[in-house]
């Protein structure tokens, strides 16, 4: 009945002030409250009292609170409901004398939220100490849902009055972010902000609305099925991502929450929006990657249902430019696939992560992506010229002519370098003094395997098996893993592939396991430690690798080995699985090579005990560097304090290479250090002869080593290792310049 009265009030089409005034009177009477007030968020993060029943009328449009200030500001800042029987004793209480609210003891308030953004706050107050129950809070949230549509539609304040101010709006801007996918793209901005206006909020017939919801769900399922049928979605992790989203469409728990919202008197579209806003309010501050990914998928599903329920089956793409740069707060994978792939040039996300579902799909489509760009949506107008520089993790908005010319020159130089590197593809990776170096690629997705042929790499020096685990909603069984690993070997076409066993924990979380809550995740329960404590997980993966090999050579590498005993435990599990395959008559690998990742410095003093038991050693410089210098590589304050070309690290690597040579064990480096020409020069100078890197680094590193006299470099670095310099980087640069080494 309250919703119907509110609908009638809004239908009378008075001024915004009159409408909101009638709303607060209606709500106050219905909830038996002496006060009902509506605060609206204005530019500059200020909440302004727009309407009240019970407070002094003269306070309207005069009383203002910053977000986070007072109880009203706290509700907006936290985006969650608050109910207090003694509001004035709360430490956040902020008294405004012009309101006359000192006589009101209890308070309940809820944020007015639309699509995850707080637009204002709805508050009721009473003179007596009153315990507001859960049903009353839900009633306020439903009313706030109605108000949100009114505010979002510009019916209260104009859109430009609530937009954050960013200086002179049309000035060129450069925004820094996080590289999610490399590459450079030039195009025009397309704002992926459906902001679908909900015209009807209050239901006239609940059974009709439930039927409309069911019809929309059927239509959305059909849309996703059509995407799965596309030719470029038939295999790979991007298909798995979309299949996971397809399962999410059928999530019964979420369906029930939508049905409950509709049952409270909302239309189907308002119920869908209310259910999503409730979820985002509860989970929006979560840092767990799985929860964030579920919210992205839920936003995608919400938008699809709203499009269907409001009579639009998909975004209208007819008027979009031919060179689209899509800008979004975050996206689900299916939303990206709605855009014409032939016209899509780049993607910019306010949020996002390297392993988010949309990033994996974008990588498969070779689209540059920059994420973590702050409030970029508020700084861009549709059609603005843009540059997405995925290589350097930056975005140029409305770039000046000088920037455009510079980027164009960069693109031309990039294309020229690619042509030159392509010419090196079939030439040997050999120095000028005839030292051969093996160049391999690092991979983690099936899409990466195509780079073997493109780059002419000798093989895959590191295949990260955890990425397919991270994009699934449940642990893959042996059959699924075996198919994937077999496909990797098929695509390698006889070239060697080193499979690293599951390396999760730390900053890599499995959706179906969650974070482990370690105080220091990088040095916590992760990698081989999980595999040894949960041997069923490791044995299942090893079984799948053995099945996938099927008569072909198999190379298995165990990560983060800190003690020889750990390696022996892991090796024993591998031997058990090989024996099991033989007993069952399963075609086993033609040969099994076993190695470890050298990441933990303690292993350096155990090499003579370890080397006789392994076939190869692969140095993971990313973790080794942070453990060696006790510097968290995820902490911007210390991550770059220590250089990976320091004499300390190079001296350690020189020692490791020497022990490996004495035991005739192959050594490679597969960390990021291997993919930069200057760093690769340093590695070659201390004796490393096998490097594994991102595919794009093969060309530059090969060009460097083919112009290098390694004997001279070794002599120069040998003198540098004895010094206590902070870094040999500048020494190596000067050497390269003096000896025409291409870096």
pLDDT in tens, 600-647: 999 999 999 999 999 999 999 988 998 999 888 767 677 678 888 999
The residues annotated with a catalytic role in the active site are 357, 670
Angle (CA) 221 223 224, round 5°: 70
Mean pLDDT of all residues in 181-187: 88
- Band (pLDDT 50/70/90 cuts) for residue 108 is very high
Note the pLDDT of residue 714.
94
| pLDDT at residue 167, rounded to an integer | 40
pLDDT higher for 14 or 233?
14
Q: Characterize 703-724 residue by residue with b for buried, 16 or more Cβ atoms within 10 angstroms of its Cβ, and e for exposed.
A: bbbbbbebebbeebbeebbeee
> Whole-angstrom Cα distance, residue 366 to residue 183?
8
Model confidence at 88: pLDDT above 70:
yes
* Choice among 114-118, 534-538, 581-585 with the minimum mean pLDDT: 114-118
- Mean pLDDT on 175-201: 81
Mean pLDDT, to the nearest integer, of 471-484? 81
Cα 248 to Cα 426: distance, rounded to the nearest angstrom = 46
Average pLDDT of the chain, as a whole number: 85
Q: Kindly report, residue by residue over 680-731, the tens digit of the pLDDT.
A: 999 999 999 999 998 888 999 999 999 999 999 999 999 989 888 899 999 9
- Smallest CA-to-CA distance from 606 within 649, 656, 569, 653 is with 656
Query: What average pLDDT score do residues 174-180 get?
Result: 87
Q: What is the per-residue pLDDT across 430-439, written as a single tens digit (0 to 9) for each?
A: 999 999 999 9
Question: What's the rounded Cα separation, in Å, for the pair 332 and 208?
Answer: 29
pLDDT at residue number 159: 55
pLDDT at position 115: 62
Of 468 and 668, the structure prediction assigns the larger pLDDT to 668
Assess whether pLDDT exceeds 70 at residue 268. Answer: yes
Determine the 3-state secondary structure of 26 from DSSP: helix
What's the pLDDT tens digit per position in 298-314? 777 777 788 888 876 55
**What pLDDT is recorded for position 2?**
79
Q: In the prediction, which pLDDT does 489 show?
A: 95
More confident residue, 720 or 254: 720
CA atoms within 13 Å, Cβ hemisphere of 266: 28
Mean pLDDT of the region 110-134: 88
- Distance in angstroms (rounded) separating the CA atoms of residues 439 and 696: 12
Given this model, what pLDDT does residue 166 score?
45
Question: At how many degrees (to 10) do helices 698-706 and 401-424 cross?
Answer: 60
The confidence score (pLDDT) of residue 164 equals: 47
Confidence of residue 169 (pLDDT cuts 50, 70, 90): very low
- Residue 460's DSSP bridge partners are 441, 497
Average pLDDT over residues 444-455: 85
Average pLDDT over residues 6-19: 75
Mean predicted confidence (pLDDT) in 198-206: 81
Residue 168 has pLDDT above 50, yes or no: no
pLDDT given for residue 286 in this prediction: 56
pLDDT of 427 reads 94
SS (H, E, C) 509-566: CCCCCCCCCCCCHHHCCCCHHHHHHCHHHHHHHHHHHHHHHCCCCEEEEECCCCCHHH
Best mean pLDDT range from 1-10, 476-485, 489-498: 489-498
When pLDDT is cut at 50, 70 and 90, the band that residue 576 belongs to is very high
> Distance between CA atoms of 572 and 556, rounded to whole angstroms?
13
Domains along the sequence of the chain with CATH: 2-162 (3.30.450.40), 172-194+319-424 (3.50.30.10), 195-314 (1.10.274.10), 425-738 (3.20.20.60)
| Residue of higher predicted confidence among 67 and 293 | 67
Residue 260 has pLDDT above 90, yes or no: no
Estimate the crossing angle of helix 357-364 against helix 237-249, to 10 degrees: 140
Strand partners, 413: none
Asked if residues 471 and 355 have their Cβ atoms less than 8 Å apart, the reply is yes
Model confidence pLDDT, tens digit, residues 360-377: 778 777 789 999 888 788
Span 131-137, average pLDDT: 90
| pLDDT value of position 150 | 78
pLDDT band at 261 (very low <50, low <70, confident <90, very high): confident
pLDDT at residue 473, as a whole number = 60
Question: For 61-85, what is the mean pLDDT?
Answer: 89
Higher pLDDT, 695 or 245: 695
Q: How far apart are CA 385 and CA 528, in angstroms?
A: 48
Segment among 63-67, 272-276, 500-504 with least mean pLDDT:
272-276
More confident of the two residues 126 and 224? 126
């Amino acid at each position: 009945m309250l919703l119907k009265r509110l609908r009638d009030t809004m239908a009378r089409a008075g001024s915004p002030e009159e409408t909101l005034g009638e709303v607060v009177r209606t709500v106050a009477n219905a909830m038996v409250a002496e006060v009902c007030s509506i605060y609206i968020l204005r530019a500059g993060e200020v909440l302004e009292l727009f309407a009240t029943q019970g407070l002094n009328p003269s306070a309207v449009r005069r009383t203002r609170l910053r977000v986070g200030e007072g109880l009203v500001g706290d509700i907006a800042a936290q985006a969650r409901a608050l109910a207090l029987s003694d509001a004035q004793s709360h430490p956040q209480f902020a008294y405004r004398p012009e309101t006359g609210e000192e006589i009101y003891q209890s308070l309940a308030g809820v944020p007015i939220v639309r699509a995850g953004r707080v637009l204002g706050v709805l508050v009721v107050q009473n003179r007596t100490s009153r315990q507001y129950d859960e049903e009353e809070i839900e009633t306020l949230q439903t009313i706030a849902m109605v108000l949100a549509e009114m505010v979002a539609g510009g019916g209260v304040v104009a859109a430009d009055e609530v937009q954050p101010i960013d200086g002179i709006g049309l000035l060129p801007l450069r925004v820094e972010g996080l590289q999610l996918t490399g590459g450079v793209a030039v195009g025009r901005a397309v704002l992926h902000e459906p902001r679908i206006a909900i015209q009807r909020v209050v239901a006239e017939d609940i059974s009709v609305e439930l039927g409309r919801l069911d019809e929309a769900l059927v239509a959305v399922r059909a849309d996703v099925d059509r995407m799965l049928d596309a030719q470029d979605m038939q295999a790979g992790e991007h298909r798995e991502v979309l299949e996971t989203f397809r399962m999410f469409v059928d999530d019964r728990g979420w369906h029930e929450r939508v049905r409950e919202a509709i049952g409270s008197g909302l239309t189907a579209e308002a119920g869908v929006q209310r259910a999503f806003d409730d979820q985002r309010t509860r989970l929006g501050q979560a840092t767990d990657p799985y929860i964030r990914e579920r919210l992205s998928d839920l936003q995608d599903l919400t938008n699809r249902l709203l499009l269907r329920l409001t009579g639009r089956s998909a975004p209208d793409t007819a008027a979009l430019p031919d060179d689209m740069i899509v800008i979004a707060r975050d996206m689900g994978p299916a939303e990206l696939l709605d855009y014409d792939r032939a016209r899509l040039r780049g993607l910019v996300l306010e949020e996002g992560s390297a392993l988010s579902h949309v990033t994996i799909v974008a990588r498969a489509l070779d689209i540059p992506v920059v994420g973590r760009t702050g409030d970029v949506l508020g700084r861009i107008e549709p059609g603005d010229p843009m540059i997405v520089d995925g290589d350097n993790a930056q975005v140029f908005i409305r770039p000046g002519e000088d920037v455009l010319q510079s980027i164009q020159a960069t693109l031309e130089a990039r294309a020229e370098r690619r042509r030159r590197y392509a010419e090196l593809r079939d030439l040997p990776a050999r120095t000028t003094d005839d030292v051969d170096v093996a160049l391999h690629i690092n991979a983690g997705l099936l899409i990466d395997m195509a780079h073997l042929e493109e780059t002419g790499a000798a093989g895959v020096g590191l295949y990260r098996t955890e990425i397919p685990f991270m994009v699934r909603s449940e642990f893959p069984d042996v059959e699924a893993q075996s198919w994937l690993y077999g496909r990797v070997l098929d695509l390698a076409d006889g070239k060697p592939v080193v499979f690293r066993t599951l390396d999760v924990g730390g900053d890599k979380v499995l959706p179906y396991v969650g974070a482990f809550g370690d105080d220091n995740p990088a040095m916590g329960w992760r990698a081989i430690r999980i595999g040894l404590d949960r041997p069923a997980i490791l044995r299942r993966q090893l079984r799948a690798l053995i099945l996938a090999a099927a008569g072909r050579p198999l190379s298995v590498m165990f990560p983060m080995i800190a003690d020889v005993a750990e390696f022996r435990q892991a090796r024993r599990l591998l031997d058990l699985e090989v024996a099991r395959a033989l007993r069952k008559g399963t075609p086993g690998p033609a040969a099994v090579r076993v190695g470890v990742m050298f990441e933990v410095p303690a292993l350096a003093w155990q090499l003579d005990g370890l080397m006789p038991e392994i076939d190869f050693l692969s140095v993971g410089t990313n973790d080794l560097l942070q453990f060696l210098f006790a510097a968290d590589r995820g902490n911007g304050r210390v991550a770059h304090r220590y250089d990976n070309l320091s004499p300390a690290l190079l001296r350690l690597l020189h020692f490791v290479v020497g022990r490996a040579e004495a035991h005739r064990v192959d050594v490679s480096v597969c960390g990021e250090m291997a993919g930069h020409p200057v760093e690769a020069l340093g590695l070659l100078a201390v004796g490393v002869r096998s490097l594994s890197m991102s595919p794009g680094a093969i060309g530059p590193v090969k060009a460097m080593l083919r112009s290098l006299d390694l004997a001279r470099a070794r002599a120069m670095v040998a003198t540098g290792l004895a010094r206590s310099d902070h870094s040999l980087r500048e020494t190596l640069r000067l050497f390269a310049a003096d000896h025409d080494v291409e870096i």
